[in-house]
Structure 1
Amino acid sequence: MNTVALAVTDGMLHFELSMAYEVFGSAPAGLAGPWYNLVVCGPGAVRAGRFGLEPDHGLDRLPRADTVIVPGWADVDEEPPADLVDAVRTAHEAGARVASLCTGAFVLAAAGLLDGRRATTHWAHTRDLAARYPKVEVDPDVLYVDNGSVLTSAGKAAAMDLCLHLVRLDRGSSIANAVARRLVVPPHRDGGQAQFVTAPVPAPDNHPLAELFPWVIKRLNHPLTVEDLARRARMSSRHLGRHFRSATGTTPLQWLLTQRIRHAQELLETTDDSVETIAAASGMGTATTLRRHFNRTVGVPPDTYRRTFRSRTRSDPNAGLQHHQRP
């Protein structure tokens, strides 16, 4: 299960299309084993922005793909082509995981795949999506929404977040990080939702907190406080909070909790340590505390998370695609 199909037609946004092509079309350096089999499917020669594109297959190829990605749709005021909508719906009914990038959500909504589901799209078009498709629960404040077999992303750069999220679900965090390094993008960003990618964008080298972040990461097993961080950064707690907002969009305590959860995720993926041991190593204190925060942040308990990811990241990190269903 390793075929990713890009569903294209006239009017697709070339930025999101190119982004998905880069992620799924080129394996990271040093990868042992096969990468995704990427195919481009469309009704014939199409235009994406100012660029022409000759698909590999027709839209009838979509139902045989494991993952179907619908890039951004340029003219959201018009109904998407019926043949594209029908092909995407048929692919999902055949068992494909379907993901939209940016305004590609309008294609999924037209296909009925978002009815009764939470979804997102570019912030400038969330109201239009909600008004046109009232059965969709539109969330304008997140980077992406993962419903298991149906995923949607917000605009532009959030498409990369969703693509890396898919790689991480399929291949594990180390492979997703390798892809992010090749593309020179942060592997994780905090989108304000319970998602499986939870670490915020690091501050640039010249930021006042640039030295503080790695110092904290090395000491997650210690009971750090805001005062400890402020003292290390040589600033008041108030100034620390302002710089954290500027660099991460969140508070020092929330950022610290995010790092602890992220470290716990890595340990669950890569070690046989008990939840109690991981709680101590990540600075959460007790297994009860870790389970409470982990479940609230990630959306599943630590044991469930380990069962989902551990086999792929430890025994076979290059295993084929596996669909992830949220409980």
Structure 2
Amino acid sequence: MSVIAVLALDGAPGQHLTTPGLVFGTACREHPGLSYEVRLCAAPGFRAAGGPGPALPVRPPHGLEGLADADVVLVPGPGGRQAGRPPEDVVAALRAAAGRGSRLAAVGTGTFTLAATGLLDGRRATTGWRHVEELAARYPRIDVDPAGTAVEDGPFCTAAGVFGGLDVCLRLLARDHGRHVAGQTSRELITPLHGDADSVQEAIDREVAESAGLDPTLRWIGAHLHLPLTLPEIAAHAGTSVSSVTRRFRAHTGLSPLQYVLRARLHEAMRLLRETDTPVEGVAAATGFTSPAALRHHFRALTGTTPRDYRRAHTP
């Protein structure tokens, strides 16, 4: 039996505390040979789970001792806008878990907690898009991936976004039991929403663009992804200075203009891989990557897989 210890920091979003049980419980139900124990462990000072609604009173049955024999330790973000320095006993418990060979994963601002241990120094990691600059500033020895949704580096996995906990759990499941089991579990959990994913993202991008007055420039970027777009060119199209367009992009998308271009290139590459039989070399050229190798590098950073494997996984 694999033990998944979820470290509950005060104010951690409720969905991040319950998602591991949902994912691994579904996997065990659909695949009777699997066996997981999901263990909720309270960090010192834990009072309640947070969330978009009122704080949820939760009484985790374990404390930090629950991490002692865990195969995986999951660290959701604490409550509040950002994560401060975690208590020293939390830092010590996470370092001890890593020293025993446990895998460690963090979701959202939980990456700050993991970063405070020093275990991510010299490694790639990510966090929620609103906090990537802060993470990079506070922990300059970490290679912060601003476009990553889930980033794996050795025994560490970090994830961004509301569904980051789901991404992490499915990746752990794939490592333990293969992509087939993880894929079946994913479909069991999210198939009803999958068909609407693109329209939801389009709606979000549209709202962001309109609120910032960036809509014409974003449409122009989308139509010219095959070209080597530069920051001065983007600023010129927006009719403003480089510094001004950078501020507007960061304020309304959480990304710099060139980071946004990279994300747009990757999303278009994903669409072409799903919907066409264009070779990977052609996809790279059509989306403005300098080479297929460059596409593979950034694609793996965003998705954790290769373009060819992504295409196979999304081909009926």
Inter-partner Cα distance in structure 2 for 1:22 and 1:256: 28
2:213 equivalent in structure 1 = none
Alpha-carbon distance change, 258 to 10 in structure 1, aligned in 2, over 3 angstroms: farther
Equivalent AA in structure 1 for residue 79 of structure 2: A
Contact 2:28 2:34 in 1 (8 A): no
Paired residues for 1:34-53 under 5 Å: 34-43=34-43, 46-49=47-50, 50-53=55-58
CA RMSD of aligned residues (A): 3.9
Is 1:119 aligned to residue 125 of structure 2? yes
Is 1:105 aligned to residue 103 of structure 2? no
Identity across aligned pairs (percent)?
Answer: 35
TM-score by length of 2: 0.60
Paired residues for 1:253-268 under 5 Å: 254-255=272-273
Contact 2:9 2:76 in 1 (8 A): no
Alpha-carbon distance change, 253 to 23 in structure 1, aligned in 2, over 3 angstroms: closer
Alpha-carbon distance change, 165 to 257 in structure 1, aligned in 2, over 3 angstroms: farther
Is 1:55 aligned to residue 60 of structure 2? yes
Alpha-carbon distance change, 128 to 14 in structure 1, aligned in 2, over 3 angstroms: same
Give the Å deviation of 1:29: 3.7
Give the Å deviation of 1:6: 0.5
The total of aligned residue pairs comes to: 226
Structure 2, unpaired ranges of 5+: 201-222, 227-262, 281-291, 310-316
Give the Å deviation of 1:301: 12
Alpha-carbon distance change, 93 to 255 in structure 1, aligned in 2, over 3 angstroms: same
**Secondary structure of 1:135's aligned partner:** coil
2:69 equivalent in structure 1 = 64
Match of 1:250 among 255, 264, 268: 268
TM-score by length of 1: 0.58
Q: Which moved more, 1:150-159 or 1:18-27?
A: 18-27
**Secondary structure of 1:69's aligned partner:** strand
Structure 1, unpaired ranges of 5+: 188-200, 208-237, 263-290, 306-327
Show CA shifts across 1:10-39 (max 9, x none): 121222222223113443544121321111
Equivalent AA in structure 1 for residue 268 of structure 2: T
Higher helix share: 2
Contact 1:11 1:47 in 2 (8 A): yes
1:175 equivalent in structure 2 = 181
Paired residues for 1:137-148 under 5 Å: 137-148=143-154
Paired residues for 1:166-315 under 5 Å: 166-185=172-191, 249-251=267-269, 254-255=272-273
Give the Å deviation of 1:295: 7.5
